[in-house]
Amino acid sequence: MIKEIDHIGIAVNNLEEAISIYTDILGLESKGAEKIEEQKIILATILVGGIKIELLQSTHPDGAIGKFIKKKGEGVHHIAFIVENIDESLKKLTAKGVNLIDEKARFGAGGAKIAFIHPKDMKGVLIELVERAKGK
């Protein structure tokens, strides 16, 4: 089911400041920002070898990232894994009794299909499943 790590999501209050830390201080490459209205976020992608770091800034206090920062502060929000077929993966997880935040896949950054597993079933870690179009 799981193929590899896709990205690590980090919740931040100030996207430009966070980008500067990763690019100017750590010397990593930013691939630009993308606004995702449905998720109430702006995200910037930072490349580290074959792994992406997604810096996530809330556009609304009632969005998931805004609520996360209010409750826990800035920091690691989730780990995302690539799956080949997200719909099949969700069916398998449901059959195993895993608590899902998303019972059906939705669209995320770059048009990927995404779904989240509840952190209660993952020892406190929010897990995102990602299915990308072939070649992306």
What domains can you pick out in the chain, each with its CATH number?
2-131 (3.10.180.10)
- The Cβ of residue 24 has, within 10 Å, a number of other Cβ atoms equal to 9
Residue 4 backbone phi and psi in degrees, to 5? -170, 170
Query: Tens-of-pLDDT digits for all 136 residues of the chain?
Result: 899 999 999 999 999 999 999 999 999 999 999 999 999 999 999 999 989 999 999 999 999 999 999 999 999 999 999 999 999 999 999 999 999 999 999 999 888 999 999 999 999 999 999 999 875 5
Neighbours of 8 (CB within 10 A): 18
Enter the pTM of the model: 0.91
Query: Which letter does DSSP use for residue 104 in this model?
Result: S
Q: Which residues contact 48 (CB under 8 A, 6 or more apart)?
A: 28
CA 131 to chain centre: 12
